[in-house]
A and B are shown apart, each in its own frame.
Chain A
Amino acid sequence: MKKVLFCISFIFIFLIGKSQEIKFSANVSKRQVIVGERFQLQYSINSSASGFSAPDLSAFEIYSGPNQSTSVQIVNGNYSQALTYSFILAPKKEGKATIGPATIVVGNGKVKSNAVELEVLKGGATTKQQGGNTAGNNASGNNVNAGDNLFIRAIVDKSKAYLGEQITVTYKIYSKYNQISFSELKFPTFNGYYSEEIKSIKNDKLIPENYNGSNYYTAELKKTLLFPQKSGKLEVPSLDATCLVREKVQAQSIFDQFFGGSYKDAEVKVRSKSLQLEILPHPASGKPADFNGAVGNFSIAAKTDKTTLKAGDAVNYKITLSGKGNLKLLENLPIQFPTEFEVYDPQVTDEISVTDAGMSGKRMFEYLMIPRAGGSYALGPFTFSYFDPIRKTYQTTTIPKIVLEVEKTNGEQVVVNRGGSQTSVKKLASDIRFIHTGDAELEPIQNNHFFGSAGFYSLLSLPPLALIVLLFMRMRSAERTNNLGAYKKKEAGSMAQKRLKKAKELLVLNNKIAYYEEVYKALNGYLSDKLQMPVAELSKEAIKTKLDSHKVPEPLIAELLKIIDSCEFARYAPGGTSEMEDIYSETIHTLNKIDQQLKA
C-alpha cells in the first residue's frame, strides 16, 4: 500500500514538474514605436523545440530574423535550456498593431505564445538632445519639420526614351542643414531596367545649390545609368534614407550662447518621390530584319589574325563594336560562318566606361575558327543595325568582307569530311519558298463549274441515249431476222413480177435460153417463197401436194405444172417468138390466179 502511494505521488510530482517547465513567450523591446523605427521581437521557450512558425508580420518591415539562439544552463545540477527566435522589425503604418501568437512544436504537441500589442506613433523625426544644455534629456523627442529643409530628389535626364536608350538617374539630397550624416541608406532596385552605376560620385562635400528660390546644401547619393527593357510606363523607384541632422536650438542661457549655442541631433527619415518614365518601343517602320536591340551610335570593325592558312589550323576573327549606347547588352552578332568552319563561342572583352556621359567604349568579340576543308571562304559582308535615338532612325553599318584562303592539306580531317563517309545536309535556316513565277494561269473569279452545267448534263445524257437508240435499232433488225419467211411470203408476188419483167426484156431481145431461164426462176422463186420450201425440194410432186393442201383447184395446178414443163423443155428445144409470148402471158395469168387462191 505504501509502495503504491509512493508511486502515485512520484508520478504526480513528475507531471507537475513537467507542466511547469514549458513556457513560450513573446516579448518586444518597445511597446511604443514610431513608423519606420526598429524594434526587436523575441520569442523564447525554455525547452527543446522545433518547427517554429512565425505569426503574420506583414504590417512590419522585417530587417532580420528569425534568428535562432540556444542557451543551456546547469545550475546546482539543474539542467535548463532556452531557445530564442528574434526578429528586428519596423512598423509600416501608424495605429495599434497586434503581433499574433507564434506556434512551436514541443515533443508531440504544439505550443502557442502570447500575442503582443504595440502602439505605433506617427512618423517624422525623433530627436536626441545633445549639447551644452540638454534640457532635461527628455526621451519623448522633438519633431523636426523636415519637409522643406531636407528632401531627396530623383533627377532623370529625360522623361521619354526609347527602349534600350540610356537614361541617367541621379538621387540628390537637398538640405538646409550643413551637417548631415546618414544612419541608413536604402538603395532602390531597378525593375524593368538594365542598370549600371556611375561610380565617380564625390559625396564627401556638400555643394550649395539654389533650388526653387532657396539655398540648399546638396550631395549626390547615387547616380545610375538605366536601360529600359520594356516599353510603356516605367517607374523610377524611390530612395529611402535615414539622416541625422544637427540643428541649432535657441540658446536658453547666456552661457550656452557663449559656447556656441546648443544643438540637437535629429533623426529624419526621407524618401524621394518616384517618377514615371514613358518608354517608347522601337518604331516598326523601316526596322531592319537583323535589328537585335542595339540602341545608340556604333561603328564596327573586323579583322582576322591571318588570311591564308591550312585546313585544320585555327584562325582568330575579332570584331570590335565601338560607340555609345547599350554596349553591355549586345551579345549576339549577326554573323553566319561558312558551314565548313568549326566555330567556338566568342570570347567577349570589354573596354567600357560608365560615366556621366553614358556608357561608351568597345566590346570585342573574338571567335576562334577552324576551317575543316580547303577553299576560299568569305566572311561577310555582314550588316549590323542599330537604332539611333537622337536621329530617331535605324542605321545600318557593314562589317567588311574578309576573304580567307584555306589551303587543302592531306591530313586526316580533310579526308574525313570529303572522303568515304558522307555527312547529312545541314539545314541552316527556314524561310518561305519563293513565289511561283511561271504562267499565273489566271481565271475569272467565279462560282460556276462545268460540273452541274447544261453542257455537263448534255454530255452526261449522250451515252445512255446512244445506247437506247442502238438497242432500238437492234431490236428492229432482230424482228426482221425472226420473220424472214413471212416477209418472203408477202413479197413473193412482187419478186415474181420483177423476174417476169426481166424476162419480158429478154423476150424483146429474143434471147430464148435466158428468157426461159428467167421465167423458170420466177416460177420456182415464187413457189419457194410462197410455200416456204427450199428450191432444192421443189419437185413436181411436192408442188402438187403442197398446192393441194392450200386448196388450189386441180386445173390450175395442172396448168402451172405444164408451164414449168414447157419451160424446162423449151430451153433446149427450138421454138418461135409467138410461143415465148404465149408462155409469158400464161405464166402471168396462172401466177395471178394461184396468188389469189393462196391469199384466200
Chain B
Amino acid sequence: MKSIFIVVFIALCSLAKALSPDALVVDANKAYTASDFKKAVLLYEQVINEQKLESSALYYNLGNSYFKLTDFPNAILNYNRALRLNPDDADIQNNLNLANAKIQDRIEPIPELFYFRWAKQLRNALSIDTWAICFLVFLFLSAFGWVFYIIGATVGTKKTGFYVGFLFLFFSLFTLALAWSAKHYKATVKEAIVFSGSVSVKSSPAESGTSLFVVHAGTFVSITDQVGDWVKVKIPDGNEGWILATDLEVI
C-alpha cells in the first residue's frame, strides 16, 4: 500500500515537473552548457512536441544543439523556424550561415532587386500582430485628428486636425499593408529543408520523370505546388522541379 502511494507520488512529481516548460528549457540550457547536446535536444523537443509551445529562442537553442551534434539539416530547419518568429535576430542569422556552410550543396541565391529586399526587411522587422497593433494605433491617432477637425473652434485647429488625421491615416494604411503581407507570407509561402541524403529533382511529379539536378540534405527549398505525394520546389538559385514530400521537412 505504502509502495503504491510512493509510486503515485513520484509519478505526480514527475508530472508536475513535466508540466513546467520553463523548467525544462532551463534544464536543457544547462545540458547544452555542459556539452550534453543529446539531452538538450530531447528536452527542447519535449517542450515543442509535448507542451506545444514555441519561441524563437527555443528553436534557436535546439538548432544550436543539433549543430553541435553535426546534424546540420535539423540545425538549419530549426534556425529557419526561429527566424520566422524573430526575423531580425543577428545570432540566428549568423549560426544559420555557419550551418549552411557545412552542408554539401552550395547554392548561390539569385540577388533580389534592392527594393524587394528592403520591403522584405521592413516586413520582417516586426511580427504580424505588432504590425496590426501599429495599424490600430495610427488609426486611433488619425481619428483624433478628425475629431479636432470636426469640433475645432478656430480655423487653425481645424486645419491642423485635418492634416494630422490624413498623415496618420496614411501611416495606418501603410502598416496595414505590411501586416497583410506578413500574414500572406506566413499563410501561403511554404519553405522546407531537404532531409534525405541525396535526392534527384524530377521534371515531373513521377518517378519516371527526368532527373534535372540533385540536392542534398540541408538544402533550403520553397514549395510552390503540390500534386499528390509530390511537391514542386524551387531552390534559391531559381531552379525548379518535383520531389517527394517525404524527402522534405516543412519549416
Cβ contact within 8 Å between A435 and B129: no
List residues of A (442-494) whose CB comes within 8 Å of B's CBs.
442-445, 447, 449-452, 456, 459-460, 462-464, 466-467, 470-471, 474
**What chain A residues lie within 8 Å of B151 (beta carbons)?**
470, 474
The contact of B139 among A431, A443, A460, A474, by CB within 8 Å, is A460
**What chain B residues lie within 8 Å of A445 (beta carbons)?**
48, 52-54
Cβ contact within 8 Å between B58 and A463: no
Cβ contact within 8 Å between B98 and A451: no
**What chain A residues lie within 8 Å of B95 (beta carbons)?**
432-433
Q: Is A441 an interface residue (CB 8 A)?
A: yes
Cβ contact within 8 Å between A440 and B48: no
A interface, size bucket: 20 to 34
The contact of A463 among B56, B61, B65, B139, by CB within 8 Å, is B139
Q: Is A426 an interface residue (CB 8 A)?
A: no
**What chain B residues lie within 8 Å of A441 (beta carbons)?**
55-57
Cβ contact within 8 Å between A451 and B22: no
Nearest A residue to B82, CB-CB: A436
The contact of A450 among B51, B67, B132, B146, by CB within 8 Å, is B132
Q: How far is the CB of A165 from chain B (nearest CB, A)?
A: 24
Q: How far is the CA of A470 from the CA of B149 in the complex (A)?
A: 11
Q: Give the dominant DSSP class at B's interface.
A: helix
Q: Is A430 an interface residue (CB 8 A)?
A: yes
Cβ contact within 8 Å between A470 and B53: no
The contact of B136 among A432, A439, A456, A474, by CB within 8 Å, is A456
List residues of B (50-96) whose CB comes within 8 Å of A's CBs.
51-58, 60-61, 64-65, 67-68, 91, 94-95
Q: Is B29 an interface residue (CB 8 A)?
A: yes
Cβ contact within 8 Å between A435 and B55: no
**What chain B residues lie within 8 Å of A440 (beta carbons)?**
22, 25, 55, 57-58, 61
List residues of B (116-165) whose CB comes within 8 Å of A's CBs.
128-129, 131-133, 136, 139-140, 142-143, 146-147, 150-151
Q: How far is the CA of A433 from the CA of B146 in the complex (A)?
A: 50
Q: How far is the CB of B74 from chain A (nearest CB, A)?
A: 14
Q: How far is the CB of A226 from chain B (nearest CB, A)?
A: 30
**What chain B residues lie within 8 Å of A450 (beta carbons)?**
129, 132-133
Q: Is B179 an interface residue (CB 8 A)?
A: yes
A445-B52, A466-B143, A474-B150 known; A436+B60 contact, CB < 8 A: yes
Q: Is B231 an interface residue (CB 8 A)?
A: no
**What chain B residues lie within 8 Å of A434 (beta carbons)?**
64
Q: How far is the CA of A447 from the CA of B54 in the complex (A)?
A: 12
Q: Is A438 an interface residue (CB 8 A)?
A: yes
Q: Is A437 an interface residue (CB 8 A)?
A: yes
Known: A442-B21, A444-B53. 5 other contacts (CB 8 A): A445-B54, A451-B132, A470-B150, A470-B151, A471-B150
30 A–B contact pairs at CB < 8 A?
A: A432-B64, A432-B67, A432-B95, A432-B99, A435-B29, A435-B32, A435-B60, A435-B61, A437-B29, A440-B22, A440-B57, A440-B61, A442-B21, A442-B51, A442-B55, A443-B53, A444-B54, A445-B48, A445-B53, A449-B132, A451-B131, A451-B179, A451-B183, A452-B132, A456-B132, A460-B136, A463-B139, A463-B142, A466-B147, A467-B146
A residues in contact (CB < 8 Å) with B: 430-445, 447, 449-452, 456, 459-460, 462-464, 466-467, 470-471, 474
